[in-house]
Amino acid sequence: MERMELEQLTTSELEEVIASGVTTVVLPIGSVAQHGSHLPLGTDAMLGDELGRRVADRLGAVLAPTVRIGCADQHMRFAGTLTLTRDTLRAVAVEIGLSLAKHGFRLIVLLPTQGGNIAATEAAVEDLNDTLEGAVAYSPVTDVERDVLEYAIGNASRENGVEPAQSGAHAGEWETSVMLALRPELVRRERAEAGYTGDMGLAVKQLHEEGVAIEQLSSNGVMGDPTLADVDRGRGYVDRLAGVIASAVSVLQATDAVPA
C-alpha cells in the first residue's frame, strides 16, 4: 500500500500491515485556534494532517487521525478558538496511544503541531512509557529539546532572509507561507497584517510557560509578519520540518529502545 492512513484501512488490511513489520505509527496533535484575520482556525490541525503524512511516508509508518483540538487557552479571547485542559489532552493522547499499542504498534510517535500542546504531549509520553509493555512512545518535537523547531523553522527562515521576529511564532511569515503551500484557497492575504515582532523566544516562554494570553502581546493575535509570506518558502519549510522530524525518529528506530 502506497500510503497507510489508519482511518482509510479496513481492520484486516491494518492487521496485514502490522504483520508485515510496520509497527511505527504517527499521531499528530493539532489545534483549532485563532490565527489572525488571514488564516483559518484549523491551521494547526491542517498542518498536523500534512506533516503527519509526510513524516509517516518517510518512515514507512502508519498515520493515525489527527487529534484536532488541543490546548489553546491563551487564544480564547478570539472567536472560534476551542481548547482542552492540559490534563484532558494528556489523557486523550495516552488513551489513543494505549489503543494503538494494543493492536501491535511498537513505536508510537506523538507529533504536536501547536506550541500549547507540547507540555501535555511531554506528559503523555511519560505516562505511556510508564505503562506500556512491549512498546515505546516518543515525541521528536519535545525530546530533541525543541532543536527540531529551531533548526527547521528558525534557520530555514534566516536562510531565506527572514528574521525570527518576522517569521514569527503564530500566524507570522512562516506559518502563513506554509498555509500558502498547503491550502492557498484558505489564506486571506488581503487581511494579513503584522503583529508582535519583538523577542520571539521570550514571547513563546510567556505564552506557554507563564500562561500569558496572546492579546497581551499582540492585539490582532499574530506573532510575526505574515505580509512577507511566500508559497515557495512554505513548500521548503514543510519539507524541511518533515525531514528533520523523520530523521529524529529513524535514529530511535535503529536503537534497541524500540521493541521488536
- Can you read off the three cell numbers belonging to residue 154? 528558525
* Cα distance between residue 175 and residue 260, in whole Å: 37
| Residue found under cell 491551521 | 43
Does position 1 have pLDDT exceeding 60, yes or no?
no
Give 152 or 62, the one with higher predicted confidence: 62
* Cα distance between residue 56 and residue 9, in whole Å: 15
Confidence of residue 145 (pLDDT cuts 50, 70, 90): very low
Does position 251 have pLDDT exceeding 80, yes or no?
yes
Question: What is the mean pLDDT of the segment spanning 146-160?
Answer: 71
Alpha carbon of 94 to those of 97, 170, 257: distances in Å? 5, 27, 19
Q: What's the burial of 133, exposed, middle or buried (CB within 10 Å: 0-12/13-18/19+)?
A: exposed
Residue 99 has a pLDDT of: 98
Question: What is the mean pLDDT of the segment spanning 225-252?
Answer: 93
Residue 155 has a pLDDT of: 76
Does position 201 have pLDDT exceeding 90, yes or no?
no
For residues 62, 65, 70, 75, the Cα torsion angle rounded to the nearest 10 degrees is 110
Give 184 or 200, the one with higher predicted confidence: 184
- Round the average pLDDT of the chain to a whole number and report it: 93
* Cα distance between residue 25 and residue 135, in whole Å: 11
Q: DSSP letters of 194-214? A: --B-S-HHHHHHHHHTS---G
Confidence of residue 230 (pLDDT cuts 50, 70, 90): very high
Domain assignment of residue 259, yes or no: no
Domain assignment of residue 35, yes or no: yes
Question: What is the mean pLDDT of the segment spanning 169-187?
Answer: 97
Domain assignment of residue 258, yes or no: no
| Candidate from 107-111, 150-154, 209-213, 219-223 with smallest mean pLDDT | 150-154
Residue 159 has a pLDDT of: 84
Domain assignment of residue 210, yes or no: yes
SS3 state at 252: helix
Does position 146 have pLDDT exceeding 60, yes or no?
no
Q: What is the CATH number of the domain that holds 104?
A: 3.40.50.10310
Domain assignment of residue 1, yes or no: no
Does position 190 have pLDDT exceeding 70, yes or no?
yes
Domain assignment of residue 104, yes or no: yes
Domain assignment of residue 175, yes or no: yes
Confidence of residue 151 (pLDDT cuts 50, 70, 90): low
pLDDT in tens, 44-85: 999 999 999 999 999 999 999 999 999 999 999 999 999 999
DSSP state at residue 137: E
User: Residue 243 is part of which domain span?
Assistant: 6-253
Q: How many domains is the chain partitioned into structurally?
A: 1
Instruction: From 120, 116, 111, 163, select the one nearest 140 (Cα to Cα).
Output: 111
Domain assignment of residue 155, yes or no: yes
Confidence of residue 152 (pLDDT cuts 50, 70, 90): low
Question: What is the mean pLDDT of the segment spanning 22-44?
Answer: 98
